[in-house]
Amino acid sequence: CGVIEPLAGAEIVTLGRYPGFGGADTVRGMMLEKQVGSSSVHFKGMLTGLEPSVTGGWHVHTGYSCASGSAVGGHYFDGLTADPWTADNTNYQSDARGVARIDKLMPEFSLYSGVRAVYGRDLVVHQASGPRSGCGYLPMGEVVLPPPPSPPAPPPPLIGASAAVRIGALPA
């Protein structure tokens, strides 16, 4: 499933295993979704855990949760006459290690509001043979903050030296 992290006009979707997917590979990845102009979204990222050396698809779906397969829905293209998330338009090509890079501008979509906003919707990765194997989303209204950094380690003790501290009034 996915975790959101704010990033100046863009959002990061983290991807994991699709609910109920029983394949041997576990899809992982990150996708940066960024608004471009008033009616396009740029998708850029990397997927791992894919089948090696294949072509498969990735798409934005109608759902808002990766908790169950029934919550994911189908391709999201509300109001368009043709589905822009076809395999010819949003394919990935994995290398011999099962890694693929994504870099795609999708016109007629928006990130937050306006024409076909994708914010909060599921992003799904399909295997080459068709089954859904990965899922990620931007949880609407949630803010996930990273844990605070660990405090610095104390300095090492001085070896072979002694020190005395006297507390009292300073001389006039």
pLDDT value at residue 7: 58
pLDDT value at residue 9: 66
**Distance separating alpha carbons of residues 131 and 129, to the nearest angstrom:** 6
pLDDT tens-digit readout, 25-66? 889 999 999 989 888 999 999 999 999 999 999 999 999 999
Angle (CA) 140 145 148, round 5°: 175
Q: Would you give the distance in Å from CA 89 to the centre of its chain?
A: 20
Q: What is the 3-state secondary structure (H, E, C) of the chain?
A: CCCCCEECCEEEEEEEECCCCCCCCCCEEEEEEEEECCCEEEEEEEEECCCCCCEEEEEEECCCCCCCHHHHCCECCCCCCCCCCCCCCCEEECCCCCCEEEEEEEECCECCCCCCECCCCEEEEECCCCCEEEEEECCCCCCCCCCCCCCCCCCCCCCCCCCCCCCCCCCC
pLDDT value at residue 143: 41
pLDDT value at residue 139: 65
**Distance separating alpha carbons of residues 30 and 68, to the nearest angstrom:** 20
pLDDT value at residue 165: 53
Residues composing the chain = 172
**Distance separating alpha carbons of residues 8 and 110, to the nearest angstrom:** 15
Tens-digit pLDDT string for the chain (172 aa): 655 555 566 788 889 999 999 888 889 999 999 989 888 999 999 999 999 999 999 999 999 999 999 999 999 999 999 999 986 788 999 999 999 999 999 999 998 887 899 998 999 999 998 899 999 987 654 444 445 566 677 777 666 655 555 555 555 5
**Global confidence as pTM:** 0.74
Average pLDDT, the chain: 82
pLDDT value at residue 48: 94
pLDDT value at residue 145: 41
